Amino acid sequence: MILHGHIDNKNQLWVPITVAGNQGRKEVTALIDTGFTGELLLPLHIAVPLGLKLAGASSCKLGDGSISKQMLFSASITWGTQTRDITVNVIDVEDALIGGGLLHGYVLTVDFQQKTLIVKEPGTDDPEVEFIENRP
Amino acid sequence: MTNDNNQENRFSLDEFSRQSEAYYSQIKKELESKYKGKYVAVDFVSKKYWLGETATEALTQAKAQSSPDRLFYLLQIGYPSSFSIQSITSRPYSHPKYDFAWSH
């Protein structure tokens, strides 16, 4: 699986994913946040219309050291060519966040000079790179 | 969002968390000695728990062996919270438009 994201003018890292619940699916551009240890955090305004299934609750340590109780939902996401079931934190924020939990087991390559961002499974070759390298 | 759990007893998020953490405190010592760093989904009603390498793995195990509609409280063994979000700070937020029925 190879997924190309983009780097914006504030050097923030964005990746497109599709999130599916019981009532629909939606393509979301999510911010990679390595300070988030979960898999995916969705804003209420995105999560609610999708009909994500409530799975339970958990505690979450926030940036100011406080502990927040959060609801957890089940969702199916597609990123690149891969679909997987994940756990989603849902709170009242603006942007969707991808955390280290979702990136675990993948290779994240960020080139801030060329403004390129690639998420890939180990052992997956990028067709574009392979094509260039194999060209006579 | 949906909650298909039709069990009779209903709890607020705070009460659900409080009772789950109270149950976890009973098994905490044993789990921390064996499984530090793993995730655990607990059900304080049945007094059962399910382990996983990830949050999703623990919750999937719990639902598969209990009921897909049952709700679980997730913890990371040996840590004060299951997740960390450094980019978000506490502020009073509520869910005025969306009222979730917590059943267990």
Query: Pick the residue with more confidence: B53 or A80?
Result: B53
Residue A62, both tokens: 């926030």
pLDDT at B4: 45
pLDDT at A127: 54
- What chain A holds in terms of domains, given with CATH numbers, is 2-134 (2.40.70.10)
- Counted across chains A and B, CB pairs separated by less than 8 A come out at 138
- Give the three-class secondary structure for A61: strand
Q: A94 vs chain B: nearest CA distance in angstroms?
A: 11
For chain B, give every domain's residue range. Answer: 13-76
Name the pLDDT band for B100 (thresholds 50, 70, 90). low
Note whether A37 contacts B16, CB cutoff 8 Å: no
B56 neighbourhood in chain A, CB within 8 Å: 39, 85-87
pLDDT at B31: 97
pLDDT at A67: 92
Note whether A61 contacts B84, CB cutoff 8 Å: yes
**Number of neighbours of residue B89 by Cβ within 10 angstroms:** 12
Distance CA B13, CA B90 (A): 17
pLDDT at B84: 92
pLDDT in tens, A38-72: 999 999 999 999 999 999 999 999 999 999 999 99
Q: Tell me what ipTM this predicted complex has.
A: 0.84
Residue B60 has pLDDT above 80, yes or no: yes
Paired with A78 in beta bridges are A18, A83
Residue B2 has pLDDT above 90, yes or no: no
pLDDT at B98: 53
Distance CA A54, CA B3 (A): 6
Interface of B with A (CB under 8 A): 1-5, 13-14, 16-17, 20, 41, 54-56, 59-60, 63, 71-75, 80-90, 93-95, 98, 100
